[in-house]
Amino acid sequence: MDANRYVINPETGWQIRVGGVRFYQLIDERYDYFNGELVRRANAPPPRPRQYYFNTITHRRVTAGGRRYYELLNAGWDIENDYYLVPPPEVISGNPLPTHERIMAIHGEKLANLNITLCRECFIAINLEQGEYCDECIPLEPEIKKCN
């Protein structure tokens, strides 16, 4: 097989190397390599729906269909490659949003007296013993965005 041939991974839209690790994973799971394209096998199980998306600003997980997810979409955020939540331009270039640090500097002590704090991601009130994040905002490493 030609080592320098590439094919589009239909699941991500990115190029992968024919004969590479990811290529064989796809072949193994649910695709046939046919006429230079990856073609989904008819008997393959349906793709797993997204459980979460990746916030490109905070690098946190955002639960699909969750409260934060709809907040971001309503605020004009976009989804790229079915995974990356990308803010509208004014969020990047405009006034900075209040940061967790700024809010906690003002209200942190009062909140601590009530035995609560704010989730670092979505600022919802959570119990102090819950840690820094609410259940919907679990820290996550970004998926590695490159060919195999």
**Residues lying near Zn ion in the complex (CB under 5 A):** 119, 121-122, 134, 137
What CA–CA distance (Å, rounded) separates 61 from 117?
Answer: 20
- HSE-CB for 49 with a 13 A CA cutoff: 4
7 or 122, CB closer to Zn ion?
122
30 or 120, CB closer to Zn ion?
120
Three-class DSSP category at 99: coil
Instruction: Give the shortest CB-101-to-Zn ion separation in angstroms.
Output: 16
104 or 147, CB closer to Zn ion?
104
9: closest CA among 37, 30, 35, 29?
Answer: 37
Instruction: Give the shortest CB-119-to-Zn ion separation in angstroms.
Output: 3
- List the 52-55 sheet strands across, edge first: 61-63, 52-55, 84-86, 78-80
What CA–CA distance (Å, rounded) separates 74 from 129?
Answer: 31
Instruction: Give the shortest CB-72-to-Zn ion separation in angstroms.
Output: 12
71 or 78, CB closer to Zn ion?
71
Instruction: Give the shortest CB-142-to-Zn ion separation in angstroms.
Output: 18
User: DSSP class of residue 109?
Assistant: H
Q: Give the N- to C-terminal CA distance of the chain in Å, as an integer.
A: 16
What CA–CA distance (Å, rounded) separates 15 from 29?
Answer: 18
Instruction: Give the shortest CB-29-to-Zn ion separation in angstroms.
Output: 33
16 or 137, CB closer to Zn ion?
137
